[in-house]
Amino acid sequence: MKISLIQTNPQKDRDANLKITRDLMAEALKTDQPDLIVLPEYFEVYGTTTEEKLALAEPAGGAAYTMAQDFARENKVFVHAGTIMEKVEGENRIYNTSFVFDREGKEVAAYRKIHMFDIVAPDGTAYKESATVKPGEDIVTYEIDGMKVGCAICYDIRFFELFLQLEKAGCDIIVLPAAFTLQTGKDHWEVLARARAIETQTYFVACGQTGSVTVNGEKRACYGHSLVCDPWGHTIARASDPVGYVTARIDAKEIKRVRNLIPMTQHRRIACA
């Protein structure tokens, strides 16, 4: 099985962002023939104000949703559509949602980001995701070609409790779209991805935005370096800084080999709800 990660630098023009993303998806499909294509967090639009984000949010079926769904159906490929700004009726916040489509374009998963990025970065920049995004609550998985895939998004990567639940659910692969900041990414991105792969004994697929965007006159940069780690914790594929894509092979035999070498599920003694 092959997975292609699409790495983009979305700005405020949704139509332009979707065209760039779709073109990269088509190029990856032509070159590498993946079974699953993964997009980054907020691939449809980024760098908007709170008011713009609320105005742009759409219920399932909007422009970004439709682009990903149509591509999946037309090309007979699974698409894990990064995250889309999902409108929540009666709320002044949105959901930050990963929608997944199978080869027929059928929606097979919708995961809403659980952990909100409310921090002050090392340079003093304040992030308050909970002001505009409503947290989700559900653990979400889906099936592809006999393998189970677990869902997570960006800041979720720091919370091992989520990944223990995905491991307990029997996941073979975990997919995490992100818009990881440059400041935190350069120190934490790969080490966290490798740690999550090792502790869950899964393939960990982390697909990030790259480059910078300006928000209210303030420049913010994303780390990029989309990568795939195998169940032993090796980084087996990694993109560099530019917009583009990277593809990795997933081997079910490697998952079995690692779990037989270190049977963690049999050795666990401390219960975790």
What is the distance between the alpha carbons of residues 93 and 88, in angstroms, rounded to a whole number? 7
- What is the structure's pLDDT at 273? 61
Q: Exposure string (b/e) for 28-58, b if CB count within 10 Å is 16 or more?
A: bbeebebbbbbbbbbbbbbbbeeeebbebbb
Given 86, 113, 171, 229, the catalytic residue:
113
**Whole-number pLDDT of residue 157:** 98
Q: Is 154 a catalytic residue?
A: yes
The residues, any chain, with a CB within 8 Å of residue 243's CB and separated by 6 or more, are 7, 8, 9, 20, 24, 210, 211
- SS3 for 87-109 is ECCCCCCEEEEEEEECCCCCEEE
Catalytic residue among 41, 44, 58, 167: 41
Q: How much is the pLDDT for 206?
A: 98
Residue 41 annotated among the catalytic residues of the structure: yes
Catalytic residue status for 91:
no
Does this model's pTM top 0.95?
Answer: yes
What pLDDT tens digit does each residue of the chain (273 aa) get? 999 999 999 999 999 999 999 999 999 999 999 999 999 999 999 988 888 989 999 999 999 999 999 999 999 999 999 999 999 988 899 999 999 999 999 999 999 999 999 988 888 888 889 999 999 999 999 999 999 999 999 999 999 999 999 999 999 999 999 999 999 999 999 999 999 999 999 999 999 999 999 877 788 899 999 999 999 999 999 999 999 999 999 999 999 999 999 999 999 888 766
CB-based contact 35:173 (threshold 8 Å):
no
Residues 190 and 165: their CA atoms lie apart, in Å, by 21
> Residue 49 has what pLDDT?
85
Distances (CA, A) of 266 to 32, 60, 127, 263: 37, 40, 40, 6
Query: Residue 85: what pLDDT?
Result: 97
* Domains in the chain with CATH codes: 2-267 (3.60.110.10)
Q: E-assigned strands of the chain?
A: 2-7, 36-38, 78-87, 94-101, 107-112, 118-120, 126-128, 141-144, 147-151, 173-178, 203-208, 210-215, 218-223, 227-229, 235-238, 244-249
- Vertex 48 angle, CA 62 and 174, to 5°: 65
Residue in 58, 151, 154, 207 annotated catalytic = 154
